A and B are shown apart, each in its own frame.
Chain A
């Protein structure tokens, strides 16, 4: 328990340092320092792009939205006031853009221009002859793993948008409940409730894989 408290203190200290660094970078960006902007982008691109990609399930759209996030950060650098943590503020922009995109998508109907998926449902494989992967010693294991990853992503995508963002922020970006509540513009108990419901939904959707984890011999 003592170790946990020490770890938490250490994590908080590192987060504070990182936040101070982000705020200093924002001041530099406001002065027109391009190198500071590059540093900021390189520092946060993984979290921003990854979160948006998980939220939308579309890497091309995710790239465009992630770029828009940084453009907005750049534009707002002059008027940026360090009232909240930088990362929380930036993810509020992510939230707004992602939710707007959801609204836009719900209004529009999309017709895919890409090739239809083959029977195995693997969008990456060609429509021609499937040659055996001789370089890989355990192809079945790889296929199963890829399928599991796809199912996990699909299960996340099937969640309502608030629950989805809450779970992605908590699980992958390791935000605290307070920060998630701030980003989602809700209360901490409501955030906990969102996360609880999301986890229960995921538990049901991924039951098969959870059982496989408990008993690996099961097909």
Chain B
């Protein structure tokens, strides 16, 4: 077996081996002259999937899937940001409303008793 481990000896073995020479006397059979034409016709009838496989080759499938995923992620992010902004606006509006109501309360208390201080100045609150 050592002989087959040495590539240089393998080449010599191939060329000078009588078995190798004998095999060479029985060459590969050749196809007939119409083989290419028949094969081409068969490819035409059976291989229409080739074009569709090119259109939907893995590269395109990955690009399409990736694009859709990216769009979904973007939509989710935009919706999230929009909801957050709306929430913030709502909070600000509520704060304004509270302040306004406090102010109206204090104004009414001022008109009722001018001597009493505003709720803003009242340290007990």
CB-defined contacts of B22 to chain A, threshold 8 Å: 152, 202, 206, 209-210, 213
Q: Are B29 and A203 in contact (CB under 8 A)?
A: no
CB-CB < 8 A to B54: which residues of A? Answer: 30-31, 77-79
**B6 shortest CB reach to chain A, Å:** 10
Which one of B31-39, B65-73, B93-101 is at the interface?
Answer: B31-39
Instruction: Check if B42 is an interface residue, CB within 8 A of chain A.
Output: yes
The A/B interface has a contact count, at CB < 8 Å, of 131
- B52 nearest in chain A by CB position: A78
Contact with A along B77-94 (1 / 0, CB 8 A): 000000000000000000
Q: How far is the CA of A126 from the CA of B111 in the complex (A)?
A: 132
1/0 per position for A23-46, CB-CB distance to B under 8 A?
A: 000000111101001100110011
Contact check, B39 vs A67: say whether CB atoms are below 8 A apart: yes
B residues 4-51 in Cβ contact with A at 8 Å? 4-5, 7, 10-11, 14, 17-31, 35-36, 38-40, 42-44, 46-47, 49-51
Within 8 Å by CB of B43, from A49, A53, A70, A168, lies: A70
A167 touches B42 (CB 8 A): no
Name B's interface SS.
helix
- Given A37, A38, A63, which contacts B31 in the complex, CB threshold below 8 Å? A63
CB distance from B55 to the nearest CB of A (A): 8
User: Digit string of A57-71 for contact with B (CB within 8 Å is 1, else 0)?
Assistant: 001001100110011
Q: Does B63 contact A (CB under 8 A)?
A: no
Determine the interface band of chain B, counting residues with CB < 8 A from chain A. Answer: 35 or more
CB contact between B39 and one of A32, A45, A172 (< 8 Å): that residue: A45
Q: Decide yes or no: A74 and B47 within 8 Å by CB, A177-B10, A196-B4, A210-B18 being known contacts.
A: yes
> For residue A206, which residues in chain B have a CB less than 8 angstroms away from its CB?
19, 22
Binds B, one of A83-91, A104-112, A129-137, A187-195: A187-195
Say yes or no for B114: interface residue by CB 8 A criterion: no
Q: How many A residues, CB 8 Å from partner? A: 55
B: residues with CB less than 8 A from A are 1, 3-5, 7, 10-11, 14, 17-31, 35-36, 38-40, 42-44, 46-47, 49-51, 53-55, 57-58
Knowing that A78-B54, A202-B19 touch, tell me 19 more A-B residue pairs with CB under 8 angstroms.
A38-B36, A42-B36, A49-B28, A49-B31, A50-B27, A59-B29, A62-B29, A67-B35, A70-B43, A74-B50, A76-B50, A149-B26, A152-B23, A172-B23, A172-B28, A193-B1, A206-B22, A210-B18, A213-B22
Q: Can you give 9 contacting A-B residue pairs, CB < 8 Å? A: A30-B50, A62-B29, A74-B43, A75-B47, A75-B49, A78-B53, A148-B26, A149-B26, A168-B28
Residues of chain A touching chain B, judged by Cβ–Cβ distance below 8 Å, are 4, 29-32, 34, 37-38, 41-42, 45-47, 49-51, 53-54, 59, 62-63, 66-67, 70-71, 74-79, 148-149, 152-153, 156, 167-168, 170-172, 177, 189, 192-193, 195-196, 199, 202-203, 206, 209-210, 213-214
